Chain A
Amino acid sequence: MISSQPHRANNLHPLVIDASVAINLLGTGRPADFLHILGQRVIIEETTYREVDRNPFNGNSGHDSLDHLVSKGLLHLERLSDEGYELFLELTGASSPDDLGDGEAATIAHSTIIGGIPLLDEKKGSRIARERGLTVMSTLDLFRSQRILRAMRRDELADTVYAALIKARMRVPLEHRRWIVDLIGAGRAASCSSLGSPFAGTDT
C-alpha cells in the first residue's frame, strides 16, 4: 500500500508485476480489461513470466492468457539487463531469511533498474523491496485504485474480485478484508477460503 497516496497508481512509473499478481489478474477472468483501464505501462519480467507459465490455470494455461495480453500490447514482456541480473543474484542469493524466489527477485531487480513500481503480494518480497527504497503496490492496491473504481461499476468489480478469490485463491491481507467483504457481500465472502476466518480482519 502506498501510504502517501493510498490506492492510487503512479502514472509516471511503469508497474512490474510479480507471478502472484499475474495469477490473480488472470483469475479475474478479465485481465485485459483491468490493464486497459489502468492505462499504464505494465511489465512482466521473463523469469516471472515463466513462473506463471508453470501454473496451469483452471485448465487453461496461464501462458496462453499472458501471451494474449502481451500480443495485445497490454502487458510488456521484458528481460533483465546484465546489471539487473547482478541484482537478481544478490536477491536470490541473500542470506536466509532474506533470500527471494526467482520471480520476486526478478520483479524487484527489474523495477529497480527501470525505475518501476513492483507489484508484490507477499510480505517478504514487499519488505525487501521497501528496504531497498522502492514503492511497493499489491493486487489489492490495483483493485482499489481510483482508475478502477471510477471505470468499473461496483457490482462488476465485485464479480471480478470474487472470481480472483475463487479461481486464483487470491490471498487477502487482513487490512483489506473488510473492504472485500463489503464489496462482494458476506454471503459470497463466506465461500472464499482465502478470506480465512469469517471474523479475521473484518472488525477493524
Chain B
Amino acid sequence: MLNTLHQRDPLEIGDRLRTARSRSGLTQEDASQKLKMARTTLVAIEKGQRRVRADELRRLADLYNVSVNALLRDSAVHADLVPRFRALSHTNESAALEAAQMLNDLVAAEVELEQRVGLLLKTNYPQEYRIQSGDIRTQAEDVALEMRHRLGISISPVVNVVSLLELQVGMRVFIRRLNSSISGLFAYDEELGACMLLNRNHPRERRALSALHEFGHLVSARKAPDMVDLKHDPQSREDRFASCFAISFMMPAVAVRGKFQEMHQESGRFSPRHLILLAHYFNVSEEAMCRRLEELGLILNGMWDSLRDRGFSGKLVRQVMGEQEEQDEVVMPPRLWLLAAEAYHRALFDEGQIAQMLCMNRIEVRTMLDTLDVEGNDDQQSTPSR
C-alpha cells in the first residue's frame, strides 16, 4: 500500500536495500542496468533521499532475492560484526565472507527474537585476562581451571560445551554448515555481546574445542581489534593461548592425570582401549585425547601418529556407543531453539519468517518445533472461520 511505504523511514529502507544489493554482489551500476532504472534514482533511494515506490521495491526485491518482510519489518535488527576467523590459511575468501554474513544474520535474528519474545541475553562474562610474557600453555591451563571453577564444574567432564557457553556464560552460539576449512568465527560487540558460529560439518568433539577456542578469545582478547585476516598466523600468541585454553578446559591436566593413573593402576598398562574410554569420558576425539596425553608426558610422543599408521580408529567404537551424529540431524543451540519456539508459539513469527531469519529450510524449522511440541498447549486454529 502506498501508506505502508510512506510510513517507513526512507533512510532505513534505503539502507536495507543497499545492504541487500551489496549482498547479492551487485554494484549500483549493475542493479540499475538490470532494472532499467537511472543510477541516480537508485542512489537516491539507497541514500533515503527519495522514497522507493511499490513497483520499484518489487523489482529490487526480486533482483536481490530478498524477503520483502525482512526489508519492511519494523523489528528487524541489523548486525554489522566483523568476525575473527578460526580458519586454515587456505580458506577461500568467498567462503569466509559468506560465513561472516551468516554470523551477522544469525545474530540479528537472535536479537530480534529476544526483543520480540522479551527474553534478553544475560551475560556472565569473566574479566579479561591479559596474556603475560612467558609460557602460554601454563597460563592457559591456569586460566582454564579458573574458568571451570567460576562456572562451578571444577574438573568434571563437560558434556555439552555449547549449552554451557550459551546458558552460563551468555555467549551467542550458532551452528551451521560452513566451508570445511573454517572451524569457527568469533566476534565481540559491546552491545550484541560475544558471538560465535561453529561448523556443523565438523564432528561434535571438534566443534566443542572450536567453541572453547572462541571462549578463549573472549577470556583473553575480546576487545582486540577485529580483523578478517585470512592469512594471519594461526600460531599468533593470542591464537595459541585460545587453542591451549580450549584443550586445557576440555581436558584439565589434573583430571587427565588422575584418570590416566587410575586406568594404569587397574590394568598395569595403558592400551588403545583405555584411550577410547578416556576420550569418551572427556567427550573429545581419540586424537585430541592422545595428543593431550603426549603433551602431558603421560605417553610417548608420536603415539597418535603410530596408532593412526596402524589403522586405529575410534569411529566404529563411537558408532556402537551411539555417539555418531546423524548427517541430517538439526543441531540447534538450546537458547536459540527456545526463543524460536516461543516466538512461533506466541504467533509472533510464522514458519516462513523463522526459516528466513534462521537461514533454515522449513522442514528443519518443523523438526525444531516438533521437538518442543509447540502445538501441544495452544489452541491453534480452533477458532472457526467464517
CB distance B362 to A3 under 8 Å? no
- The reply to whether the CB of A175 lies closer than 8 angstroms to some CB of chain B is yes
Interface centre among B58, B68, B371 (most CB of A within 10 A): B68
CB-defined interface of A174-201 with B at 8 Å, one 1/0 digit per residue? 1100000000000000000110110011
Interface centre among A56, A87, A135, A193 (most CB of B within 10 A): A193
CB-defined interface of A62-99 with B at 8 Å, one 1/0 digit per residue? 00000000000000000000100111111011111101
Supposing A54-B361, A101-B67, A200-B373 touch, asked if A169 and B381 sit within 8 A by C-beta, the answer is no
CB distance A19 to B385 under 8 Å? no
CB-defined interface of B367-386 with A at 8 Å, one 1/0 digit per residue? 10111010111111111111
A133-156 at interface with B (beta carbon < 8 Å): 133-136, 138
- The reply to whether the CB of A171 lies closer than 8 angstroms to some CB of chain B is yes
Bound Cα distance A171, B355 (Å) = 15
Contacts of A23 in B (CB 8 A): 362-363
CB distance B381 to A173 under 8 Å? yes
CB distance B4 to A89 under 8 Å? yes
CB distance A174 to B378 under 8 Å? yes
- The reply to whether the CB of B274 lies closer than 8 angstroms to some CB of chain A is no
CB distance B375 to A174 under 8 Å? yes
Interface size classification for chain B: 35 or more
CB distance A133 to B386 under 8 Å? yes
Which of B70-78, B140-148, B189-197 is found at the contact surface with chain A? Answer: B70-78
B228-260 at interface with A (beta carbon < 8 Å): none
Bound Cα distance A99, B378 (Å) = 21
CB distance A124 to B347 under 8 Å? yes
Q: Which of B67, B355, B363, B383 contacts A168 (CB 8 A)?
A: B363
Bound Cα distance A104, B67 (Å) = 12
CB distance B381 to A175 under 8 Å? yes
- The reply to whether the CB of B318 lies closer than 8 angstroms to some CB of chain A is no
CB distance A172 to B375 under 8 Å? yes
Q: Which of B5, B67, B74, B378 contacts A96 (CB 8 A)?
A: B74
CB distance A169 to B366 under 8 Å? yes
Contacts of B371 in A (CB 8 A): 193
CB distance A193 to B375 under 8 Å? no
CB distance A171 to B381 under 8 Å? no
CB distance B69 to A55 under 8 Å? no
CB distance B68 to A88 under 8 Å? yes
Bound Cα distance A88, B57 (Å) = 12
- The reply to whether the CB of A20 lies closer than 8 angstroms to some CB of chain B is yes
Distance in Å from the Cβ of B348 to the closest Cβ of chain A? 5
Supposing A89-B72, A168-B363 touch, asked if A126 and B375 sit within 8 A by C-beta, the answer is no
Supposing A124-B347, A126-B381, A174-B380 touch, asked if A97 and B373 sit within 8 A by C-beta, the answer is no
Q: Which of A3, A85, A194 contacts B366 (CB 8 A)?
A: A194
CB-defined interface of B50-84 with A at 8 Å, one 1/0 digit per residue? 00001101100000000111001111000000000
Bound Cα distance A95, B252 (Å) = 51
Contacts of B362 in A (CB 8 A): 19-20, 23, 55
Q: Nearest chain-B residue to A19 (Cβ)?
A: B352
- The reply to whether the CB of B139 lies closer than 8 angstroms to some CB of chain A is no
CB-defined interface of B109-140 with A at 8 Å, one 1/0 digit per residue? 00000001000000000000000000000000
B329-386 at interface with A (beta carbon < 8 Å): 346-353, 355-356, 361-363, 366-367, 369-371, 373, 375-386
Distance in Å from the Cβ of A65 to the closest Cβ of chain B? 14
Distance in Å from the Cβ of A114 to the closest Cβ of chain B? 18
Which residues of B approach A to under 8 Å, CB–CB? Answer: 1-5, 7-8, 54-55, 57-58, 67-69, 72-75, 116, 346-353, 355-356, 361-363, 366-367, 369-371, 373, 375-386
- 20 new A-B contacts, CB < 8 A, other than A123-B380, A193-B370, A193-B371, are A1-B385, A19-B362, A56-B361, A87-B1, A88-B68, A89-B4, A92-B67, A93-B73, A96-B348, A101-B67, A101-B350, A101-B356, A102-B352, A125-B350, A126-B385, A170-B366, A171-B351, A172-B375, A175-B382, A196-B370
15 cross-chain CB contacts under 8 A: A56-B361, A82-B55, A85-B54, A86-B2, A87-B1, A92-B67, A93-B5, A96-B74, A101-B67, A101-B356, A102-B352, A104-B350, A174-B376, A194-B370, A196-B375
